[in-house]
């Protein structure tokens, strides 16, 4: 399916940005940078805005979600925004009883532990998302209109991570109930995974159609699985979720080309503790693989065969280290990332809530400075957001 002509990729607004070129495997003139969980958490302007508003309510308020998405782009000058939302949003919008509990995370009103529970859950029709996702579409459109040439990344939780929350009833250290169900009742598990793939795939597709220039699938809990279990019980559902955006494409006219090049919307697949699963995670249909901080990027590149763009993988713990320690770590990650066809610098997980925002601002500027002109191929940098470069209350980077 062709993207609408006004979509930022189809119109050319974001197609030449650093991020999109890197996701396509071409090294731009400087390494692009963005951070997972960059929207909120560590920003005082985010905490001020969120006072009195519950997490999921904030996600479903288009104006608030857009403002929170833009805050770190304006403050840090990162190369992409990522929509402020939550992976359980599509569950809530399809009718699941779920809330985000402070200090805990997603908590379900009822755990899905039996075949009967699964049957009751999957009776909820994912088609309702065609209308209930309207607040998300509005938030994306509102944000894209203000980002200019800076791409917006849409994201969704992978089917296994959603299923793990549903079966456990909330966060878990080992996901024992989910892992038990997949073996004890494979038919019920397959039904559950088919349903979560449909729900989260629709969520991802809605964001891209509304204007997101890339899509990222998060599998936060896949690291609890063996390679055999991932391949048999999880990978098919992840492929089904990604299939919801794999058909979305646009035409790009390259300089000197005889005909337009047909390109797909880039898809990133990221997991936590998934070093042994990297090859399978790429094989489900991803263009880019996100790597957490446990596996060096040169080793991840070797495991993936040397032909996959990588994203990652600063250790979030080092954001609180003295600058010389963090700087050395950043340089090491950049050097290892040069072994891959292209590299987007990111954290090996999310921004810790107590991170000093000025460190992130300084880090982005440092990466852009030390990588500028260092790559063999060049591409046009992404344009800055159309709003002012920093809010008035933002302190300068130290």
How does residue 392 score in pLDDT terms, banded at 50, 70 and 90? very low
Average pLDDT over residues 131-146: 98
Instruction: Quote the tokens at residue 33.
Output: 């940078």
Average pLDDT over residues 64-68: 97
Answer yes or no: is 77 a known binding residue: no
Q: Which residues make beta-bridge pairs with 216?
A: 155, 268
- DSSP per residue, 145-196: HHHTTS-EEEEEE-HHHHHHHHHHSS--SS-HHHHHHHHH-HHHHHHHHHHH
Give the Cα separation of 182 and 164 in Å (integer): 11
Answer yes or no: is 258 a known binding residue: no
Task: Give catalytic status of residue 263 as yes or no.
Answer: no
Determine which one of 18, 79, 86, 336 is catalytic: 86
pLDDT at 374: 67
How far are the Cα atoms of 294, 303, 304 from residue 276, in angstroms, in the given order?
Answer: 11, 9, 11
Give the Cα separation of 112 and 182 in Å (integer): 12
Q: Which residues make beta-bridge pairs with 347?
A: 314
Determine which one of 18, 27, 37, 362 is catalytic: 37
Per-residue pLDDT for 384 more than 50? no
Domains and CATH numbers, the chain: 18-371 (3.20.20.210)
Average pLDDT over residues 63-73: 97
Task: Give catalytic status of residue 287 as yes or no.
Answer: no
Average pLDDT over residues 358-377: 87
Q: Is the dihedral of CA 120, 123, 129, 132 positive or negative?
A: negative
Determine which one of 16, 41, 229, 315 is catalytic: 41
Answer yes or no: is 329 a known binding residue: no
Rg of the chain's alpha carbons, rounded to an integer?
20
How far are the Cα atoms of 28, 30, 75, 379 from residue 373, in angstroms, in the given order?
Answer: 9, 6, 24, 10
pLDDT at 153: 98
pLDDT at 382: 38
Answer yes or no: is 349 a known binding residue: yes
Task: Give catalytic status of residue 185 as yes or no.
Answer: no
- 191-234 pLDDT, tens digit per residue, is 999 999 999 999 999 999 999 999 999 999 999 999 999 999 99
How does residue 395 score in pLDDT terms, banded at 50, 70 and 90? very low
Task: Give catalytic status of residue 338 as yes or no.
Answer: no
> Would strands 310-314 and 267-271 be described as parallel, antiparallel, or unpaired?
unpaired
- Calculate what percentage of the chain has a pLDDT beyond 90: 88
> Would strands 152-157 and 214-219 be described as parallel, antiparallel, or unpaired?
parallel
Per-residue pLDDT for 183 more than 50? yes
Name the helix (H) or strand (E) containing 334: helix 323-337
Answer yes or no: is 165 a known binding residue: yes
pLDDT at 253: 79
CB count within 10 Å of CB 48 equals 9
- 237-254 pLDDT, tens digit per residue, is 999 999 999 999 999 977
How does residue 17 score in pLDDT terms, banded at 50, 70 and 90? very high
Per-residue pLDDT for 115 more than 80? yes
Query: Which among 319, 334, 393, 323 is positioned nearest to 369, based on CA atoms?
Result: 334
How does residue 102 score in pLDDT terms, banded at 50, 70 and 90? confident
pLDDT at 110: 95
Instruction: Quote the tokens at residue 330.
Output: 């950043």
Task: Give catalytic status of residue 41 as yes or no.
Answer: yes
Give the Cα separation of 222 and 290 in Å (integer): 13
Q: What average pLDDT does the structure give for the chain?
A: 92
Determine which one of 165, 230, 250, 293 is catalytic: 165
Residue 130, classified by CB atoms within 10 Å of its CB into exposed (0-12), middle (13-18) or buried (19+), is: exposed
Average pLDDT over residues 117-130: 98
Per-residue pLDDT for 141 more than 60? yes
Determine which one of 16, 50, 194, 232 is catalytic: 50
Place of tokens 């996100």: 290
């Amino acid at each position: 399916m062709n993207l609408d002509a006004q979509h930022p990729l189809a119109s050319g607004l974001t197609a030449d940005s650093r991020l999109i070129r890197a996701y396509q495997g071409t090294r731009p003139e400087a390494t692009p940078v963005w951070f997972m969980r960059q929207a909120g958490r560590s920003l005082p302007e985010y905490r001020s805005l969120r006072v009195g508003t519950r997490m999921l309510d904030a996600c479903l308020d288009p104006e608030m979600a857009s403002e929170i998405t833009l805050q770190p782009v304006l403050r840090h000058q990162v190369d992409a925004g990522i929509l402020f939302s939550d992976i359980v949003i599509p569950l809530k919008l399809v009718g699941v009883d779920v809330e985000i509990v402070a200090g805990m995370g997603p908590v379900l009103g009822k755990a899905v532990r039996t075949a009967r529970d699964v049957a009751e859950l999957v009776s909820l029709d994912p088609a309702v998302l065609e209308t209930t996702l309207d607040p998300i579409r509005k938030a994306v459109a509102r944000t894209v209109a203000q980002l200019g040439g800076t791409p917006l990344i849409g994201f969704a939780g992978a089917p296994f991570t959603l299923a793990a929350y549903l079966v456990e009833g909330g966060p878990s250290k080992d996901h024992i109930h989910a892992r038990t169900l997949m073996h004890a009742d494979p038919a019920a598990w397959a039904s559950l995974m088919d349903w979560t793939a449909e729900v989260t795939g629709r969520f991802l597709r809605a964001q891209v159609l509304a204007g997101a220039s890339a899509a990222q699938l998060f599998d936060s809990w896949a690291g609890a699985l063996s390679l055999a279990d991932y391949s048999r019980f999880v990978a098919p559902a992840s492929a089904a979720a990604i299939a919801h955006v794999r058909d979305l494409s646009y035409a790009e006219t390259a300089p000197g080309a005889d005909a337009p090049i047909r390109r797909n919307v880039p898809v990133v697949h990221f997991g936590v503790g998934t070093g042994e699963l990297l090859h399978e995670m790429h094989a489900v249909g991803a263009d880019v693989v996100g790597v957490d901080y446990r596996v060096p990027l040169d080793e991840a590149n070797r495991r993936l065969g040397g032909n996959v763009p990588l994203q990652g993988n600063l250790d979030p713990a080092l954001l609180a280290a003295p600058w010389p320690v963090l700087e050395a770590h950043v340089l090491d990650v950049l050097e290892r990332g040069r072994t891959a066809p292209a590299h987007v610098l990111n954290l090996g997980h999310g921004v810790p809530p107590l991170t000093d925002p000025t460190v992130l601002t300084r880090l982005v500027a440092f990466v852009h400075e030390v990588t500028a002109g260092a790559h063999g191929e060049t591409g046009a940098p992404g344009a800055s957001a159309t709003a002012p470069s920093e809010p008035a209350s933002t302190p300068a980077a130290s």
